[in-house]
Chain A
Amino acid sequence: MRTSNFIIIFLFSFLFSCKKETFVGPPIETYFGNLTISESFSHNKPVGVDFSNGDTLNFSAEFSIQAEFNINIVGRTSGANFNINQTSQNLENTFWLGESNTIFFKQYEWCDITLSFNGHDTILTDSVLILGVQDFSQMGKLLTSFEDPSEYNVVNGSSTVTNNIISNVNLSVHGTNFLEIRGEGQGTYFGATRFQFNNGTITEPEASNIYFNGFFNSSYSGSAVVVKFFEDHNNNNQYDAGVDEAWSFKQSLSDDNLWHKLSFNLNDFNVDISGNNVLVDGVINTNNIIRIDVICSQQGTAFGEYGFFADYYLLSYNEPL
């Protein structure tokens, strides 16, 4: 056989040898075909779910296609909500641990659950009773939820008008109590909530892994919250201005009269060199933190009334609340 003939036969045999017998990838209709519900939407806790015991609410349903779905859970009393967005042909791996988007769900609260699909009109509903809420304090160190006055100190300034606790289970984010703090003037200090503890109380060594979390609700335009961390460099269990180092972070607040969950990473805090405060080493030594002040402030220096409601201050490790 001549070389050229061999090459031609080789090329033609290759020509017809590469094609696959079947199609590649999953069947297209399992992604973009007609949506039908083959197993109805339900969950595994018809009596109620106790998140405080570590319960998980597992959902179940099965569809004809790989659908992009959204499960929206809304608390009937609190108005808290949580969303789950996934793409799947079933709800086998879809569950709820009791977390929320903003404010917390409440104990003994009924929640409405809605399952909807992107690009389809189908909507399925269910409901669940919360028997116990999740304990988020396990995420780090709970500073206070304003239920126990021994957890914090109230610090008033010359412009403080109110720095009190309000008890109303329907209005609080967590438990019964929440803080109302308000002041009037052109300064930037209208009072604070102070937390004091010993060296080594904060166990997470990396500042970048620590978040200050809190819920704030303001109806006063221009209001702001300032969070300050105080270190004890000279180990005398108190903050000495000019010797120790302080860190602060300021966040303006919306005046929409709604609860907002705010989370600040410690890495975003700046050294506070106001007044007698000084820069010591420019590094947040988390082990040295002995005091935290959460201060009612304003965005600028205009005369006016500033303040907010606040609840559930938590230092979380590794991720924000």
Chain B
Amino acid sequence: MAQFPSFKIGGLSRSLSTTSALDSEDTINKDINQELNIIFDLAVNAELNEKVNFYSELRLGSSLEVFDTSASYIKIRRILLFGHVSKHVKFEVGDIDVKMSPFTLWNNEEEGVISENNLFSTYREIQRYENFNVGNNWRRQGAKLNGTNKLSSKDSIYSQFFISREQASNEISIPDRFLYGESLDFVRPRFSIGVHHVDLFTFNRGIQQEFNLHNHVYSLHSTYKRDKIILSSEIGQSSRTLINSIINSVIEPWLNGQFLNLNLNYQYANNSYVELNYRRVTDDFSSPGSQTKRIDFSSSPNLFSTVNNNISPRDILISDLVNDITFFRQNSIYNRTIDYDLDQFNPLFGLTQPYGISTPNRQGFDLDFFYRDSLGIINFLVGSSYLTDLSGEGTENLRSYIQFRFNAKLSINKLINLNRQITIHAGLKSDRVNRSHPEELFVDNVNVNSVLLDAGTEVELFKKFNFLIAYKKLGVNGTDYLGVRNEDFSISSFELFDVDSKQEILSAGFSYDFNKKTTFLINFQRIGYDNMSDLNSFSFNQFFALLQLRF
């Protein structure tokens, strides 16, 4: 008898209808947008033999704006071969997920999230799913090996190696670009120590370019646990240079940047902790794997990319990060390219750490206090960061960055013992950036204030039938001078950031859970943007109907 592979099938289906309308004063450009998309993702997990498994996601989709089959399509979302090379080594080939530490290889969360209820989080999950953002992993195409060796009953060694092709050569002027990395960790119950290394490099064989760019990041990290205290540290260096591929020698001095991160976590109760973090990242620390942004802020939003009767191109708003959903990757504002050089960021979304914890030229402390009660009535996080520039930018004086953050979720029904679910979400993030200049410079001081507010509630009106309302607002005002970096990562000039703007989303809707795996959500929302600096303001309304099914 032939041995047939065993299969498991799962997946999800979504139907999303969106109707968007610009306000009545905005009439010349396209002011109504309607989309209706249905997708069906079929996941197949096949055990081909003892050593090799196969996983794939097949998408059947259709845009139902036109009632014929020309708008239907089939495509492969993911293919992965995985299994065991030996007893201790696993392999993955295809669309792999990779991450290391927040300073070496890390897909930082997109901006604008503090505490969202289902009205926002449902669409944000779709964005992340559509753009392959699983946790802090980067989805790459390549190969990965994971090793686990038990040295004794308590001690283990974990190892990882991966390589991916980031860019294909055009055989004329664009070289191949590869990313590879390896890590080795020795783990004991109370202590661990390990090393990480990542290199993003060009490979110019076959094209007219003599130089290859390498960007290495090395780190050494360790963890020590005692009772409820966890001490961890990570220290490392980035090194980037051009190497002449003909004579195989470095033609420019290596640009070295360093970082240090110390963390103390005290778990004072089950699921509750206090965390103190200190970090120091130099201005020339270059880590493409951890500094690449999840959002491509140089792109334009798909919806109403110009406003005010075609006069003003529209930047990406906080609502676009949640709701500008496209089922076609090439149109997405979400980025998947890991490249040299710091990505463009939108200063409206925060200046404190636009590239996450590995943002260059920062030093300072973060303190977070998290509490979750045993009955699940409330959980909240209160935190604050006090950071400064490590080196002055354009002046000896250092900017200071003070951030306060708070998010909470309160289950009223558990508090007053109700059968119907009533939940309140609330969040606030406030940033203040300051730097004073001597009067003789005749340069205005840096002074930027921003507030991101997130609030929402869900009320179960009937069994499994919920009313939801949510509000999000981002207000920013002030002046800063943003460093513009050269190809060699150094700051060559400054760009004035002078703004007084606010943007907000007010959304309300209903959801019905047919069962745990099937939900229906309809909501209406109004999005407003006001920029008092250049008198640019606009608003638009959106209506969504979303049916989701998992199986």
Contacts and interface: CB of A to CB of B under 8 A. Distances in A.
Interface of A: 7, 10-11, 14-15, 17-20, 22-29, 31-34, 66
13 contacts: A11-B233, A18-B280, A19-B282, A22-B392, A22-B396, A24-B391, A26-B492, A26-B494, A27-B394, A27-B395, A29-B443, A31-B481, A32-B494
A122 to B, nearest CB: 14
Contacts of A24: 283, 361, 391-394, 483, 490-491
A29 B393 contact: no
Contact of B390 (A10, A18, A34): A18
B235 interface: yes
A22 B491 CA distance: 13
Nearest to B394: A28
A15 B392 contact: no
Contacts of A17: 258
Contact of A25 (B258, B393, B437, B444): B393
A157 B303 CA distance: 48
Ranked 9 nearest A-B pairs via Cβ: A28-B394, A25-B491, A23-B392, A34-B442, A29-B441, A20-B391, A33-B442, A18-B282, A32-B443
A19 B390 contact: yes
Contacts of B260: 11, 14-15, 18
B262 interface: yes
B535 interface: no
B390 A11 contact: no
A31 B260 CA distance: 32
Interface string B459-498: 0000000000000000000000101000000111110100
B394 A23 contact: yes
| Residue of A19, A22, A32, A34 with most chain B CB atoms under a 10 A cut-off | A32
A157 B280 CA distance: 80
B492 A25 contact: yes
Nearest to B496: A32
A11 B394 contact: no
A14 B233 CA distance: 12
B222 interface: yes
Nearest to A28: B394
Contacts of B490: 24-25
A10 B396 CA distance: 28
A214 B280 CA distance: 61
Contacts of A66: 493
A25 B390 contact: no
Contacts of A25: 393-394, 483, 490-494
Given A7-B222, A33-B441, A33-B442, A23 B235 contact: no
Contacts of A19: 282, 390-391
Nearest to A64: B442
A7 to B, nearest CB: 7
A23 B390 contact: no
Contacts of B494: 25-26, 28, 31-32
B15 to A, nearest CB: 40
Given A20-B282, A26-B492, 13 more contacts: A11-B262, A14-B235, A15-B280, A22-B391, A24-B391, A24-B394, A24-B490, A25-B394, A25-B483, A27-B395, A28-B441, A28-B481, A31-B394
A31 B392 CA distance: 15
A32 B444 contact: yes
Nearest to B393: A25
A31 B496 CA distance: 9
Nearest to B443: A32
A28 B493 contact: no
B230 to A, nearest CB: 16
A22 B235 CA distance: 23
Interface string B372-402: 0000000000000000001111111000000
A29 B481 CA distance: 11
A32 B496 CA distance: 8
A25 B283 CA distance: 10
B394 to A, nearest CB: 3
Contacts of B393: 23-25, 28
Contact of A33 (B283, B443, B491, B496): B443
Contacts of A15: 260, 280
Interface in B185-208: none
A26 B442 contact: no
Nearest to A21: B391
Nearest to B485: A25
B443 A28 contact: yes
Nearest to B440: A29
Contacts of B395: 23, 27-29
B82 to A, nearest CB: 37
Interface in B176-231: 222
A32 B481 contact: yes
Interface string B480-524: 010100000011111010000000000000000000000000000
Contacts of B437: 28-29
B399 to A, nearest CB: 11
A10 B493 CA distance: 35
B320 to A, nearest CB: 29
A71 B294 CA distance: 40
A17 B235 CA distance: 13
A293 to B, nearest CB: 35
B121 to A, nearest CB: 39
Interface in B270-286: 280, 282-283
B528 to A, nearest CB: 29
A29 B283 contact: no
A83 B468 CA distance: 55
A24 B496 CA distance: 17
Nearest to B259: A18
Contacts of B443: 28-29, 32-33
Contacts of A28: 393-395, 437, 441, 443, 481, 494
A11 B493 CA distance: 33
Contacts of B233: 11
